[in-house]
Amino acid sequence: MPVLPIIDLLIFLGWTTLAAGGVLKAIYIATSYRPTIFSLTPVDLLLVALAFLGLALTLAARTWVRINEPQLIAKRRAAASREALERAAAHDQVAAAQPNGAHGAPAPEYVNQWQRVR
């Protein structure tokens, strides 16, 4: 089911309700007559309009995330792989710079000293 017409309908209803609330508020300010639409005051219409627009925004965000989620996950995985490769390369460079390797094993001359002590 397409989501875009639902989002458009919610936006249309939100702005229409907001406009109706604005007209009612103008009548409230200009006259002593207090009209309502389905017993809703201008503040009630403002809250209804905010609800419609909030639902439209939420639905649009969920749709965007659903559409773009595979690309976002692929980018995150690629960045993690690239970072792991960089760390491995840095570790190899450090290991190559040390005379006894990266594992902390004693150098051969120290092994010979310990063997001589025994």
CA torsion sign for 80, 82, 88, 91 is negative
State pLDDT tens for residues 34-56. Answer: 888 889 999 999 999 999 999 99
State pLDDT tens for residues 57-78. Answer: 999 998 888 887 777 788 888 8
Q: How many CA atoms lie within 13 A of 22 on its CB side?
A: 7
For position 91, what pLDDT does the model report? 75
Helix (H) or strand (E) holding 118: none
Residue 15 has pLDDT above 60, yes or no: yes
Quick one: pLDDT band at residue 115, thresholds 50, 70, 90? low
Residue 114 has pLDDT above 80, yes or no: no
Percentage, residues of the chain above pLDDT 70? 79
